[in-house]
Structure 1
């Protein structure tokens, strides 16, 4: 399996930091040997990460969503289902796994399901926090994309953030 090659200026995601931009590559000493690393900077923070060029996916680095991904993401946000456990501890573990993965389509599925639960009966505090965390992660990834579909995704996320249970 070949590793992705990132170029300076590429938008990338590195869980748990979120969306960043590859600034270039650099050499850093590790164990007495020089190793090549991607330098990833994160907007609005002073955070910077160095990810091994030889194994970026091992560190969780992936390309950010693009305009081409927006129709599929919008469909996922509108009509996905997820069979979450009803028992809190098991549900919490599953939700934490999805949030930690940072996979935008899994986050969209989680958002869709928790949104449905919220509208139907309201969410307990920890589930509401998970819903808002998933929305924030998706908003980060969609922000900056100039496209009608991306705008619809952002509008749906704002709606989901502000929804309350039906009476």
Structure 2
């Protein structure tokens, strides 16, 4: 179970820190909420205690999981569809999962594709969104500035060569 001070990923909002709990009365029933302050955004969200399991909120990555993500980003992707509609639908579905490996797949695949062809406007936006969320979570987990993490990920992606 989560506690105050935990660092968490909150799909689709990003990452945050559990600041505290609040009790609110709704329809004559008292409900306990967790207040999560979102990193990099001037906002917080309230999640009912009973909805934590189904909300997709999860602990942020460990250092081992981050190293696994970095290795994954360095791999040459396979089976990237040439059809924009298929690629777009797959990437939207990946982003909705909240799974960081799926987020990394979007970043890796779009970065790799951009080496051959310019990305469409929507793919560029999708890349930036996924890249930002991936960078924010890794930065929060490692206690490093987001800018430094973004530079590291860009370096990894740049080194992936076409076979």
Query: 2:18 and 2:143 mapped to 1: Cα distance?
Result: 22
Verify the 8 A CA contact 1:10 1:63 in the aligned structure 2.
Answer: yes
Question: Does 2:107 align with 1:111?
Answer: yes
Cα distance change, pair 160–119 in 1 and its aligned pair in 2 (3 A): farther
Contact map agreement 1:84 1:94 (CA 8 A) in 2: no
CA displacement at 1:82 relative to structure 2: 5.3
Which structure 2 residue ranges, 5 or more long, are not aligned? none
Query: 2:78, 2:28 → 1: CA distance?
Result: 48
Equivalent residue number for residue 124 of structure 2: 128
Whether 1:11 and 2:7 are equivalent positions in the alignment is yes
> What is the aligned partner in structure 2 of residue 137 from structure 1?
133
The TM-score, its normalising length taken from structure 1, stands at 0.79
How large is the Cα RMSD of the aligned pairs? 3.0
Q: 1:151 to 1:16 in 2, by over 3 A?
A: closer
Distance 1:91 1:146 in 2: 31
Quickly say closer, same or farther: Cα 1:62–1:145, change in 2 above 3 A: closer
Unmatched tracts of structure 1, length 5 or more: none
User: How many residue pairs end up in the alignment?
Assistant: 159
Query: Is 1:73 matched up with 2:69?
Result: yes
Shift of 1:162: 8.2
Aligned to 1:26: 22
**1:35 matched to 2:31:** yes
TM-score, normalised relative to structure 2:
0.80
